[in-house]
Each structure stands twice: as C-alpha cells, then as structure tokens.
C-alpha cells in the first residue's frame, strides 16, 4: 500500500473539520441567544383602524388585549370577535416574521432546519 498523507480515513484535512465544528457550535450558541431574545420580545398589531390592539410575545403568548369601548356593539358581537382574532393573528405573524428575519441574518440565508441547529 502506498504511503502518503492518509491518516485514519481522512486525507490530511482534519484541522478543517475542527474549524467547521467550532463554527457550527458558535452558530448554535448565537441561535440560542437570538431565540431567547425573540421569545422575550413583544409584538403589537391593531385591527379595525386601531379599535382592537393585541400584544404578543415571541413565545406566542397573548400579553395584552386592548378594546376601544366604541368597538363594543351588543348587536354585533361577531364583528368584535373577528377584530380580536385579526389583531392577535397579525401580532403572531409579526413575531414569526421577526424570528425568520433574524434566523436568516444569522445563517446567511442557509436552511439549517434539518441539521438541528
């Protein structure tokens, strides 16, 4: 068998693998920190021209809900329900969008979902 740079099943580039592992570990730590920050952040959205406002966290928890008394019509409760749903869902979309944008910045647009990072 020929002698050369063959060591333990790798061709000389063992140092590069360690560098990649360190980069992946740093990225994972950065992602965990970013995720904590996003979960603690609050996102606000309004519906019906501002008569209903919802504030949610990045963990998808409803933090507060403000309803203008003018939005309360006993004859049209369904309208108020729709406004509440619209405001809460939009706040959740804002939280998801912020998380997606932050993740994209951190990973440079790479899709790492399958890597467990």
In the predicted structure, residue 8 carries a pLDDT above the cut 70:
no
% of the chain with per-residue pLDDT over 90: 45
| pLDDT of the residue at 117 | 45
Domain presence at residue 115: no
Higher pLDDT, 13 or 87: 87
CATH of the domain at 48: 3.30.1310.10
Ramachandran region of residue 62, left (φ > 0), alpha (ψ -120 to 50) or beta? beta
Domain presence at residue 100: yes
Domain presence at residue 47: yes
What is the arithmetic mean of pLDDT over 13-31?
80
How far apart (Å, rounded) are the C-alpha atoms in residues 10 and 12? 6
Q: pTM for the complete prediction?
A: 0.67
How many other CB atoms sit within 10 Å of the CB of residue 101?
A: 11
Domain presence at residue 29: no
**Containing structural domain, residue 47:** 42-108
% of the chain with per-residue pLDDT over 70: 79
When divided into structural domains, the chain yields a total of 1
In the predicted structure, residue 62 carries a pLDDT above the cut 70:
yes
């Amino acid at each position: 068998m020929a002698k050369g740079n063959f060591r333990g099943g790798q061709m000389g580039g063992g140092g590069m693998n360690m560098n990649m592992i360190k980069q992946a570990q740093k990225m994972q730590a950065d992602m965990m920190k970013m995720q904590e920050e996003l979960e603690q952040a609050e996102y606000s959205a309004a519906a019906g021209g501002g008569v209903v406002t919802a504030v949610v966290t990045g963990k998808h928890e409803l933090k507060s809900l403000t309803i203008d008394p003018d939005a309360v019509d006993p004859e049209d409760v369904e309208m108020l329900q729709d406004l509440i749903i619209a405001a809460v869902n939009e706040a959740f979309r804002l939280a998801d969008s912020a998380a997606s944008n932050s993740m994209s910045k951190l990973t440079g647009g790479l899709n790492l979902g399958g890597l467990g990072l």
